[in-house]
């Protein structure tokens, strides 16, 4: 999505939108996050990815996250609680 700034003339907006369409531009989530200083990413730490239950869970979580505009970072803790704690982080 392109910012709809009141400081940009209608003619310039029209030219930018035409260029975006002709180039097939699609915004990148990571670039938007940097520009807006917001992070729409969350972590998913699994105890064991080889467990047949978890791939289905990940597919469901990812589908919902995408619909809500989020990205997922995933880690496999391999049933190691220390590893799970090292992988996670707390907000500052």
Distance of CA 40 to CAs 2, 29, 31, Å?
A: 18, 8, 11
pLDDT value at 51 more than 70: yes
For the chain, list the domains and their CATH numbers: 29-87 (3.40.50.2300)
How is residue 38 written in tokens?
A: 């917001």
The per-residue pLDDT for 65 is 92
**pLDDT interval class at 61 (50, 70, 90):** very high
Q: Encode 5-37: b = buried (16+ Cβ within 10 Å), e = exposed.
A: eeeeeeeeeeeeeeeeeeeeeeeeeeeeeeeee
* Bridge partners of residue 76, in order along the sequence: 46
């Amino acid at each position: 999505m392109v910012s709809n700034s009141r400081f940009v003339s209608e003619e310039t907006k029209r030219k930018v939108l035409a260029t975006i369409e002709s180039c097939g531009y699609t915004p990148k989530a990571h670039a938007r996050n940097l520009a807006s200083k917001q992070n729409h990413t969350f972590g998913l730490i699994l105890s064991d990815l080889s467990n047949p239950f978890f791939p289905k869970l990940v597919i469901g979580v990812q589908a919902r996250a995408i619909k809500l505009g989020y990205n997922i970072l995933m880690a496999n803790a391999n049933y190691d609680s220390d590893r799970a704690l090292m992988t996670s982080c707390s907000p500052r």
